[in-house]
A and B are shown apart, each in its own frame.
Chain A
Amino acid sequence: NAGVTQTPKFRILKIGQSMTLQCTQDMNHNYMYWYRQDPGMGLKLIYYSVGAGITDKGEVPNGYNVSRSTTEDFPLRLELAAPSQTSVYFCASGKLATSYEQYFGPGTRLTVT
């Protein structure tokens, strides 16, 4: 049981480039989330999904897109990368049920120069 996995671990992008951050969970969780963590700050919610085919915006969605075609995968797409998107990105998943706990992946450190 790998939990939540994210790829890549690190990435450097040039301004204007695009990329997709991958997130996969093997716990059959309905809910998946993308957060970003800027230096010295807490995490902020970018997008979330309540199930395959259903996504919604969080606090800071501008500059990002998501899709959820399967229960397991929740990729985050950056179009036209900007320096302001330099951050650490965390994917998380959760099962509504009883615990309300979210399980986090190890994060992707992205630098845009």
Chain B
Amino acid sequence: AQTVTQSQPEMSVQEAETVTLSCTYDTSENNYYLFWYKQPPSRQMILVIRQEAYKQQNATENRFSVNFQKAAKSFSLKISDSQLGDTAMYFCAFMKHGSQGAQKLVFGQGTRLTINP
């Protein structure tokens, strides 16, 4: 069974600093997707970034980038020039194939990130 592990329950950095959130996963599949979702206090789940396992190039979205190490099954998120609005829970998620083409997400436990002014 696929599992996703986030080993940092909480992190805290100063505004404008760079922070890296860790995620490891376990799977026997070769083709899959990995995601980072942000959940601010509003509870809304917001997609931050996505990585296709068949792509060697790490995904980037503005200040957000990932370090995808397929052999090590590691998928960390780097936030550069952190802003107060980045304060949220961050969830790493693995997408696995379900029946009839459904794509099911398996989530990690989350990392609570606080950006201090």
Question: Which residues of chain A have a CB within 8 Å of any CB of chain B?
Answer: 31, 33, 35, 40-45, 48, 50, 54, 56, 58, 88, 90, 92, 94, 96, 99-102, 104, 106-107
Question: Which residues of chain B have a CB within 8 Å of any CB of chain A?
Answer: 4, 33, 42-45, 47, 50, 91, 93, 95, 98-110
Partner of B105, one of A40, A43, A50, A96: A43
Q: Which residues of A contact B98 (CB under 8 A)?
A: 48, 56
Closest approach, in angstroms, between the C-beta of A101 and any C-beta of chain B? 6
Distance in angstroms between the alpha carbons of A92 and B103 in the assembled complex: 11
Q: Are B44 and A104 in touch, CB under 8 angstroms?
A: yes
Q: Are A50 and B104 in touch, CB under 8 angstroms?
A: no
Q: Are A42 and B110 in touch, CB under 8 angstroms?
A: yes
Partner of A41, one of B42, B50, B109: B109
Closest approach, in angstroms, between the C-beta of A93 and any C-beta of chain B? 11
Partner of B101, one of A41, A50, A99: A50
Among B47, B100, B105, find the residue whose CB has the most chain A CB atoms closer than 10 A: B105
Distance in angstroms between the alpha carbons of A43 and B90 in the assembled complex: 12
Tell me how many residue pairs across A and B have CB atoms closer than 8 Å: 61
Q: Are B99 and A101 in touch, CB under 8 angstroms?
A: no
Q: Which residues of A contact B42 (CB under 8 A)?
A: 106
Q: Which residue of B lies closest to A88 (CB)?
A: B43
Q: Are A50 and B50 in touch, CB under 8 angstroms?
A: no
Q: Are A100 and B43 in touch, CB under 8 angstroms?
A: no
Closest 9 CB pairs of A and B: A42-B107, A104-B45, A50-B100, A43-B107, A107-B43, A50-B102, A100-B33, A48-B102, A42-B91
Closest approach, in angstroms, between the C-beta of B51 and any C-beta of chain A? 11
Q: Are B45 and A90 in touch, CB under 8 angstroms?
A: yes
Distance in angstroms between the alpha carbons of A48 and B95 in the assembled complex: 14
Q: Which residue of B lies closest to A101 (CB)?
A: B47
Q: Are A42 and B47 in touch, CB under 8 angstroms?
A: no
Q: Which residues of B contact A31 (CB under 8 A)?
A: 101-103
Distance in angstroms between the alpha carbons of A70 and B25 in the assembled complex: 35
